[in-house]
Structure 1
Amino acid sequence: MVSVSWCGRHDGKDALRAQIWRTLTAHNATHRDPVGHIPNFVGAERAAERLAQTDLWQQAQVVKCNPDSPHAAVRLQALAAGKTLYMAVPRLARLQCFVELVAAELHGVSLGEAATMEGAMSHGKLVAFEAMQPIDVVVVGCVAVAMNGGRTGKGAGFADLELAMLRERGLVSATTPIVTTVHDLQVVAAADLPMQPHDWGLDLVVTPSRCLVTENHHPRPGGLDWSMIQPEQLETIPVLQMWSQLRH
């Protein structure tokens, strides 16, 4: 078993992530060592282009995307199309834990630079939940996905936590589409991908070669489940600390 940060919370998911990382490495399907990361897969740009061709994407005006490297191409597609883009601050390490980017406001900054995680943090505007618009499409990073909507990230729980917080504040709903782009090798059998009550399922999976509409029947959490908050999350995520204090 590969030992990485955040492992040990679910043995089945740990084993699946390790298997996917080994498979991707064996097939030279990533641009860097994927272990411990959302894989920066070969073909990410093509998958982003394929996502951008979907009606779901074209109808969306506001997109939320994760900050991981393979989704820089998705963030670029959003900016190039004139959409409002929200990117989560890595590890939610700021009290204003999202960055807002709009192409028209990036004076003198190339969209390619702004679409990188570093560029977004440098040139975007930090925003609190109260300043955000309702989100039309959410893009999450995944290590493995399944056709029943199952997904797992790298194990830190940030994607599910971000979605729960956005739901808590009315910025995503029970019907907001949740999508991802991955390599074809990251698609696994549903039986191999265990889902938990706090997990958010996927509605659409896009690979460099195909668009896969899932059979997602996982019930969506109505907001934060404080019983699932990890001690290290409460210690390191300022907005959780603030909300926790307001609860008491």
Structure 2
Amino acid sequence: MVPLTIGRWRGYAVLLLVPVLAASGCGAPDAPTGAGPTAATSPTVVTTDGPSASPDLADQSTASASPRKDLPHVFPVRAKKVSYHPTHSAYPGTDIFADCGEPVVAVTDGTVGEVSRRDRYDKRGPQGPYNGGLSVSVIGDDGVRYYGSHLTEVAEGIDAGVRVRAGQRLGTVGRTGNANNVCHLHFGISPPCPGEDGWWIRRGVVWPAPYLDSWRKGGNRKPAAEVAAWHRKHGCPGKPPAR
């Protein structure tokens, strides 16, 4: 269990928040299984004010044929007072609790993938496509996609196709989308599926906590092998059924 030391809250407060966020899904329905393996030769790169599945989005590609293996990895939130839980609600992901306004940074060197600068979430509307509010993903040079959502703002110049380095500021911790008015960063790790991948993959498919534990201590544990294994087994699953 990760020590809970967030801001002015005590550890028990964070534990009480976990079921609250789980109730909202912080990302909607369970991730589906099915769909045979699909090779990811190049990631989708889009800039949008909504989900990547929207028909009015630009669809660009950035080559990633030879993933780099010797890359630095850093913790995605630059704050002294930060906490996270090793589990999530209905799918692999991690909610990283920190004060609103704390910097969110690129985990590793890579290219900006999807960017959402507009909060279109409505609890009365469909759950899933807009849950993240303001968000940014980075397609790492290791072939892994790193996604952060619920941001207060996206940093100037962070647009689809822009190159970033490990530790570069992407935005700030916030509570947009279905964050339940709690300042935190939803963090997900997934493969950069080509074409129309969507929120159900981008939100996370492998558990981030073991990697966060390493990065927070200055280590460099790498998720590329686990993500590649997941992708070989599941491919790029289609959109889950509406609920």
TM-score for both structures, normalised by structure 1: 0.26
The structure where helix makes up a greater share of residues is 1
TM-score for both structures, normalised by structure 2: 0.27
Structure number with greater CO (CA < 8 Å, separation at least 6) is 2
The structure where strand makes up a greater share of residues is 2
Q: Highest CA radius of gyration, 1 or 2? A: 1
